[in-house]
Copies of this chain bind each other. A is one copy, B any other.
Amino acid sequence: MSGNATRIAVIGAGRMGQVHCRIVSENPRAALSAVIDPFEEGGRRAAAQYGAPWYSSLQDALDAIELDGVIIAVPDRLHVDVTVEALEAGLHVLVEKPLADTLEGARTIAAAAARATDAKVLVGHVLRHDPRFRSAAKIVASGHIGDPVHFRASRIVPRSVGFANRGASPIYMYQGIHDIDLVQWITGSPIVRVSATTAAKILPAAEVDGLDVALILAELENGAVGTIEVSWVLPESTPSGLASQFDLYGTDGNLKVDVTAEGISLDTLDDYRLPNTMLDPELDGRLEGVVPQQFDYFLQMIEFDLPSRIGLEEAVSAARVLDAIDESLRTRAWAAVRS
C-alpha cells in the first residue's frame, strides 16, 4: 500500500531505534523511508535490515526524499536539537521519553512544538497507550474512587537493564519517568514536593557506577501522598520481565493496577515464565503490544487529525519532578517542585 503509506524516518539506530524500524516496517499503513544515524556502520546495518536508505543526518534525508514524520530515538541528551529541527521542517514527531534530560531542554522542545502548529507531536510515554492504565485514568476521572488520599507506584526490572545502562541515566529518570507521569496523569494532580533516598549494592559489586533503587515520597497539590519505587534488582531468571504495580486509594474507593502478569504462565522442565502478551509480544512474526499501538496511534493522529494522548506540558511537568528528586537526593531534605 505504498501509495497511501505514511512516510516515516527513524532517527537513531540504537536498541530502541531498531525496535521502531521494525515496527514501522511491519505496519502496512506506513513506509520506513529512512534510517538516520551519524554512525554510519550502525545506521547502514539497521537500514539494510529493514530495507530503507541510510542518511547521516535529518538534513541529508530531507535533501533527498520526502517525509511525513520522524521517530526520534537518539540518546536522551541529544533530543532537543533534532526534535526542534524536525518540528521546524514541518514534520510530525514521535519522540522517545523522557522528552529531554533537562528541564530547560524539555521547555525548548515544548516551545518549538507550540510554534509548529501543523505538526503532530507525540511523546513516547508508552503507558499512555496501555488499556490498563487508560482504564485506570478513566475510572479515576469518572470519580469512582473519590478524592485521592494516597498512592504507591512500583516498577522493578531485571538487573541486566541496570548493567546495560552503565550508569548513563539515573534509575529515577530512566524508569521513574514512567511512574511520575502515571501518578500525575491518573490522579490529575501535580507532584509538589518530594523526599528521596537510594541504595546501591548490586551495581557497585559489578563495578557499575549507578544506583540499584530509588525511593521517593511524594506530596501532591491535592493533598494526597504517595511513594514511587523504582529499581533494577530482579534476577535475570525472574518469571516476568517487569514487576510493576500502581495502587491508588481515595475517599470513595481504591484502584489497583498490576501489569506484572498478563494472563499466561508457562512452567517447563527448566523454567517458570509469565510470558508478556501485551507489552511487546511477538505474534505471527510481528511485534505487537503498546509500542506498535503507540505508533499506530501516531499514524492515526497524522491521518485523521487525532489529538495526542499526552500534552507537551505534561511531559515538561515530569521533567520538573525529576529536577526536584535530584535536589532532594543532594540536600537530604524535602524538595519543592518548581513551577
B215 touching A227, Cβ below 8 Å: yes
Interface check A164, CB cutoff 8 A: no
Complex contact B253–A263 (CB within 8 A): no
Q: In chain A, residues 196-239, which have Cβ atoms closer than 8 Å to a Cβ of chain B?
A: 196-199, 201-202, 205, 212-213, 215, 217, 219, 223-227, 229, 231, 233-239
Q: Which residue of the partner chain, among B198, B236, B249, B332, contacts A233 with CB atoms under 8 Å?
A: B249
26 A-B interface contacts by CB (under 8 A): A131-B283, A131-B289, A132-B264, A132-B277, A138-B283, A139-B266, A139-B275, A145-B266, A145-B268, A150-B231, A150-B233, A195-B197, A213-B225, A215-B217, A215-B227, A227-B227, A233-B254, A235-B267, A235-B270, A236-B269, A238-B267, A253-B269, A255-B264, A255-B266, A258-B264, A333-B333
Contact count band on A: 35 or more
Q: Let me know if A117 is at the binding interface, CB within 8 A.
A: no
A154 within 8 A of partner (CB): yes
**Residues of the B chain whose Cβ atoms lie less than 8 Å from the Cβ of A265:** 255-256
Chain A 118-162 interface mask (CB, 8 Å, partner B; 1/0): 000000000000011011101100001101011010101000000
Tell me if B229 and A253 are in contact (CB < 8 A): no
- Flag if A131 contacts B259 (CB, 8 Å): no
A28 contacts partner chain B, Cβ-Cβ < 8 Å? yes
Instruction: Say how many copies of this protein the assembly contains.
Output: 4
Complex contact A272–B275 (CB within 8 A): no
Contacts from A to B (Cβ < 8 Å): 1, 4, 28, 131-132, 134-136, 138-139, 144-145, 147, 149-150, 152, 154, 156, 195-199, 201-202, 205, 212-213, 215, 217, 219, 223-227, 229, 231, 233-239, 249-259, 262-272, 275, 277-278, 281, 283-284, 288-289, 300, 303-304, 332-334
Docked pose: A241 CA to B228 CA in angstroms: 25
Contacts of A288 in B (CB 8 A): 131
Are B254 and A263 neighbours in the complex by a CB distance under 8 Å? Answer: no
Complex Cα distance A266/B144, Å? 9
**Is A234's CB under 8 angstroms from B254's CB?**
yes
